[in-house]
Amino acid sequence: MIKSKLAIPYLHDHHNHFTLYAGMYGSLCLKEVRDKEKALELLKKLPDEGLNTAYAWNSGFYNFTASELNSLPPVLIVNLSLHGFILNDAAKKILEPQYPEIICNFENSEWREAHVNELLLFFVRIMPHSVESMCAFAEDLRTKFGIYEIEDMLLPSAEMFETIQNSPLRDRVTFWADYETFKTLPGGIRQQIHGVKLFADGANGSKTSAISEPFLDGSTGILNYTEERLSEIFEECAEISNGIAVHTLGDIASKQVVDVTERLRRHNSDLPVRIEHAQFIDELTARRAKDLGIVLSMQPNFSEDSVIYRDRLSERFLKTNNPFRMLIDNVGFKPGRDLLFGSDGMPHGIRFALSQALFPPYLGQKLTISELVAGYAAETGCGHFEIDADEVLK
């Protein structure tokens, strides 16, 4: 039997967390583990000494009791959304002396969303990195997932920037930095990175994305800034950075970012603004964003949220998640120009993104292969990645 091949240009992943996932490279991945007993079986095999980490746990499938967690070796388990984690008492004992504020507050959803940058940097810092391990991870991204160029949305430090610049990855990994980290960077580094990354709201996995109705259990989303405070930060960024990217899932959060950008434009600022994710952006807000020159950086693989989060999102939001056809056909966004694609590492690469683009949960999420490639193609013309068509079409 002859297998048909698809040749896809190597990808430019416009939204990823390279240093975070490089640290997780050797950790236990629970993304495909949908049964709690299987997860516990895998977790019990972790070493008894030192801190263990696991990631991509979906709390929509199962949760762990305190006694189940405490029966395990020292372990911290990161939620699929990256906006939260759980850990057992043995891991707390290891981490609390160095990270007392995080360990004290990690179960408070409002605290987590207000400190999400610190949380992600915490994950980076507790997982070991070396040039060798990062290069090995990057090679896996290229050979197994078709990713060649990567925008890391959270530069941990000036030291990490210099490490990447002095490595074989210098032309493949570029950075954004959170607001607080950006202000600590030397001016030369500030000018070499894309700009500042902010979080306007939370995530679907943690039921904190700022949508305009409660989640099914009555939870409500979280806006991390008042409009006045966000405007102040935008105005400061216009003076000190090359651009601004804002994590924005919910329709309320999308409107807030567009409102603030409109205020910025009235001050004659042409600061590049990107909305990251834009999962529930409505058509009126999208039209305003287009008129203001805002770029949307989205994840075709997040169309899966319309399946895995049926336990928390209403039918209205399941259906309007990732409204690609509305954005392209009605509003006029162009893949590769003002509509860019990335993975957020959930999962990496072209295969799942392509299957979600061609066979999404809802027709409004559908993308053609040429649209997906245009929004994802690497800028350096570095060749093609072949995949079996059956992997996507089955």
Strand 177-178 versus strand 196-199 pairing type: parallel
Phi, psi of 39 (to 5 degrees): -60, -45
Phi, psi of 274 (to 5 degrees): -120, 135
Please say if the pLDDT value at position 167 is more than 50: yes
| Closest by CA position to 304, among listed 133, 89, 129, 56 | 56
| Closest by CA position to 260, among listed 215, 283, 226 | 226
Please say if the pLDDT value at position 393 is more than 70: no
**Percent of the residues in the chain that have a pLDDT greater than 90, as a whole number:** 78
CATH architecture of 28-126: Roll (3.10)
Sheet holding 295-298, edge to edge: 177-178, 196-199, 244-248, 273-277, 295-298, 339-341
pLDDT score recorded for residue 236: 96
pLDDT score recorded for residue 381: 64
Per-residue b/e over 52-67, b at no fewer than 16 CB within 10 Å?
A: bbbbbbbbeebebeee
Arithmetic mean of pLDDT, 11-24: 93
pLDDT score recorded for residue 3: 62
Please say if the pLDDT value at position 262 is more than 70: yes
If DSSP codes are grouped into helix, strand and coil, which group holds residue 379? coil
List the chain domain ranges: 28-126, 131-393
Arithmetic mean of pLDDT, 375-385: 79
Instruction: State pLDDT tens for residues 87-143.
Output: 999 999 999 999 999 999 989 888 888 888 888 889 888 887 789 989 999 999 999
Q: End-to-end alpha-carbon separation of the chain, Å?
A: 15
Strand 5-9 versus strand 384-388 pairing type: antiparallel
The overall average pLDDT reported for the chain is 93
- Helix (H) / strand (E) element for 285: namely helix 283-291
Name the token pair of 175: 């950075």
pLDDT score recorded for residue 1: 47
Q: Which residue has the higher pLDDT, 240 or 392?
A: 240
How far CA 154 is from CA of 24, 147, 187, 220, in Å, comes to: 15, 18, 17, 26
Cα dihedral 224→227→233→239 (10° resolution): 150
Q: What is the pTM of this model?
A: 0.87
| Closest by CA position to 99, among listed 122, 79, 77 | 122
pLDDT score recorded for residue 89: 96
CATH architecture of 131-393: Alpha-Beta Barrel (3.20)
Q: How is 203-270 classified by DSSP, letter by letter?
A: -TTTT-S--SS--TTS----BSS-HHHHHHHHHHHHHH-S-EEEEE-SHHHHHHHHHHHHHHHHTT--
